[in-house]
Amino acid sequence: MIGVYDSGFGGLTVLRQLRAVLPERDFVYLGDSGRAPYGGRDTSTLLDFAEQCTERLFEEGCRLVVVACNTVSCVALRHLQTRYAGPGSERRVLGVTIPAAEAAVAMSRGHIGVLGTARTVASGTFETEIRKLGPHRVTQRAAPLLAPLVEEGWEATGIATQAVAKYLEGLEDVDTLLLGCTHYPLLASAFEGATRAKVLDPAPYVATRLREWLVRHPEFDAAGTGDLRVLCSGDPAVFAEHGRRFLGTELPKVAHVAEEGGRLQHRERVQVVLGQVLR
């Protein structure tokens, strides 16, 4: 069973490709939608959230976890790997940044643009990984408004088109545009209309690399029945409604998890609190 973790809906675009490439594998998806967005979070908070979500997936029976969230992959992946997947461990944690960098370098003629959350861009991880692979020029740009627009379902509106065009100002000479946020593939039409660069959605490459990794590490591979379970820390009904746009199909029943005592625990009901609260 393979776990896939994201800050919310966006990682479903990665899961969509993973299931296409590995249709007989079983997946558990965890979207931390109740605490999204991650892009403006401080490092300590990101590490706490990443640990809790990874541990929840381990407790669900996943020995392999794919961190689909670009922000977490850029900031916390090494921490998660050191904490949970060190020498002798029977668990592994993989990210999306290296496959994305490899795909960008293979596609680019020399100038790669990277668009992502403020935290992803500030980490410099994409630039570091790209420079390991070639002498490419890298220009990064934070685009904090794009993910919220997609979450509102506004990706096909004029507002989204204008926002994409605004963020791409000054990037006219990049030949490859790496979409460094899992929400951005839903804005593909807006990107293609605003740039002459090749627009790179890393998700298919992440899926291909995972399939190759499983061939090299058969001890972490096991055919299943194509089962999918979905967990979220927000409202399950809202997650199921919006999630189908990202996954491309209806989601199974979404289970709710919430933080209790520093851990994500299953809850039967979502607690919606209105007004002031005393504890």
Which pLDDT value is given to residue 136? 97
Q: How far apart are CA 69 and CA 6, in angstroms?
A: 5
Tokens representing 31 are: 């979207």
Catalytic pick from 53, 62, 69, 74?
Answer: 69
% of the chain with per-residue pLDDT over 70: 98
The answer to whether 109 touches 175, Cβ cutoff 8 Å, is yes
pTM for this entry:
0.94
Which pLDDT value is given to residue 272? 64
Q: Residue 62 catalytic?
A: no
Q: Residue 69 catalytic?
A: yes
Reported confidence tier of residue 273, pLDDT bands at 50, 70, 90:
low
State yes or no: pLDDT of 164 exceeds 80.
Answer: yes
**pLDDT tens digits for range 166-181:** 999 999 999 999 999 9
The answer to whether 46 touches 218, Cβ cutoff 8 Å, is no
% of the chain with per-residue pLDDT over 90: 90
Query: What SS3 state is found at 5?
Result: strand
Q: What's the rounded mean pLDDT across residues 117-132?
A: 95
Which domains, from first to last, does the chain contain? 2-95+205-267 (3.40.50.1860), 97-201 (3.40.50.1860)
Reported confidence tier of residue 274, pLDDT bands at 50, 70, 90:
low
State yes or no: pLDDT of 12 exceeds 90.
Answer: yes
Catalytic pick from 53, 62, 181, 232?
Answer: 181
Provide the Cα torsion 150, 155, 158, 160; round to 10°.
40
Which pLDDT value is given to residue 125? 97
DSSP 253: P
